[in-house]
A and B are shown apart, each in its own frame.
Chain A
Amino acid sequence: MSAATTSVPADARPLGRPLTANRLPKWAPAAVAAGSIALGCGIGAVGGLESKLQWGLISAILFVVISYVLSAQVEGRRQAKDRLATSVVWVAFILAVIPLLALTFYTVQQGAKVVDGNFLSHSMRGVRASGPGGGIYHALIGTLQQVLLASLMAAPIGLLTAVYLVEYGRGKLAKAVTFFVDVMTGVPSIVAGLFILSVWNLALGFNYSGFSGSLALAILMLPVVVRSTEEMLKLVPNELREASYALGVPKWKTILRIVIPTAIGGITTGVMLAVARITGETAPVMLLVFGADYINNNPFDGPQQSLPMYIWMQYSQVNNQYGYARAWGAALVLIAFVMGLNLIARGIARWRSPKAGH
């Protein structure tokens, strides 16, 4: 007899274990959650804890501990570990969602007070900073123009760079490009702003303008577009490229007509997310766009305004309730704008992605 056969004891009966075991009822986790919250609040109230955050944390810890102990008693240790992992995941999820919901809720609550037709269609020209009225029209126009210009610069360059890296790039040049894209990803936005300020405005002598802001925004957007497009192009199966080559289609046409259309959903999503990212950038805009109270429809000449900078300017006036209100209104519009972009991106991704219809 070999070692392999003797290592199994003669009396081992692997199928002798029962297949049924005690299980907690389906409603148990919900009941435990309700119980722990009640208990947590009770402890908080009795102990005189001021912060509701502490109440919540106590409840969360109680939930994790009670589910584990209860399950260990009724169901056994393996099931209890499973429950432990599940409840930790739930607690972590709720902790992550709370700030997000709170932020959205608070912005909507504060912003909805001021956002109306007048707010969206008027600038701050002739409006007393400490008084009511005024609006964000000039900032909205500025943001739209600056982001559009930045996207027009960064999206094609980024797309072509990604195509180069995935389809053509070999050897040292490709490695260098990848390295510098990585470095660019880490450039702080204020540094991008300073760079454009010193090169474009100071060395080359151009005036403050929306366009110089969008140059800095394009620098910030570029690496994001390259990275996301690169990942999407890598996902296109090589078989499709080979199928196209085997039909006698040249490489550039294969890329243009087969590879990019297959990945277009993901590419669009990536570009839209990059747009959403730069829409909220404040630092380079502060350095380069300068902030104007009036409407300036020409992004190539003179100071403009943008939403993030408007928020900062309104909120930086100490003890000015009208300024604070306008800041929240602009924040609401900004969030809505970014969310709208994300929704559009998702829509395009779903619409354009390859489907397996029948």
Chain B
Amino acid sequence: MAKRIDVSGLSAYYGSTKAIEDISMAIEPRSVTAFIGPSGCGKSTFLRTLNRMHEVIPGARVEGKVLLDDENLYGTSVDPVAVRRSVGMVFQRPNPFPTMSIYDNVIAGLKLSGVRKKSVLDDKVEKSLQGANLWNEVKDRLNKPGAGLSGGQQQRLCIARAIAVEPQVLLMDEPCSALDPISTLAIEDLIGELKTQFTIVIVTHNMQQAARVSDRTAFFNLAGVGQPGKLIELDDTQRIFSNPSVQATEDYISGRFG
């Protein structure tokens, strides 16, 4: 299921403002790639270009290529809706659908794309919730509203909802920033399990987290206020955190600036 992503010469704009400039990188399948860097350097923007969520914002546009196993996501006849079905996303703040029960939340993606068969859906709910390590906590109250869960549970519900549509890639935009350390640990363990099936890309401000969960780490930075963000380097996580090849990366990781 997992697919490889190759990005080349990608720039993203908000209106006339260039947010990120000329980014090229390769994201390996069945691995966790972490994006780190100071606020406003374009990590989240870049992440959102990987499933064409960037263009949802009015006036936003993208230049460059994103290849998902040799298929350009920005090709002329590509349907963004189909792209998002194969590249799922988990957001910073847990956002379960407030009108739906836990059960309906998990299968929202399937149901809204036309799957109706009860046995298929039941099966999917159990598998996805187990995949998100939430099944044991909610199996007796699947018909209760999703908004009644704790923050950490809601975030795992959102992960279950994202993996229920069986994407090839899972993008996570600071998935733990609104959670306490215990819920964070649960999500991090989950990421470790999910990477056997999915290609995972995670944006995080927490460098320990990047060091704990990721196989490879990309460091983004911006030259100054008003300048577009750029990819400084991408390497194995161990190398980035022990012996990075660029001075700016070492400065950032050791907390000497930013």
Contact = CB atoms under 8 A, between A and B. Distances in A.
A107 interface: no
B89 to A, nearest CB: 4
Contact of A248 (B81, B97, B98): B81
A243 B112 contact: no
Interface stretch (A96-104, A179-187, A195-203, A249-257): A249-257
A247 B91 CA distance: 12
A247 B84 CA distance: 6
Contacts, number: 83
Assign chain A's interface to a size class: 20 to 34
B202 to A, nearest CB: 15
A237 B95 contact: yes
A249 B145 contact: no
Contact of B56 (A170, A245, A257): A245
A241 B98 CA distance: 12
Interface in A116-151: none
Contacts of A249: 81, 108-109, 112-113
B148 interface: yes
B144 interface: yes
B125 interface: no
A258 B95 CA distance: 12
B129 interface: no
Contacts of B147: 354-356
Contact of A247 (B58, B108, B148): B108
A19 interface: no
Contacts of B81: 245, 248-250
B91 A248 contact: no
Contacts of A18: none
A78 interface: no
A244 interface: yes
A34 B224 CA distance: 68
Given A243-B95, A246-B88, 17 more contacts: A237-B95, A239-B93, A239-B95, A242-B56, A242-B89, A242-B95, A243-B91, A243-B158, A245-B56, A248-B86, A249-B81, A262-B98, A354-B145, A355-B145, A355-B147, A356-B98, A357-B144
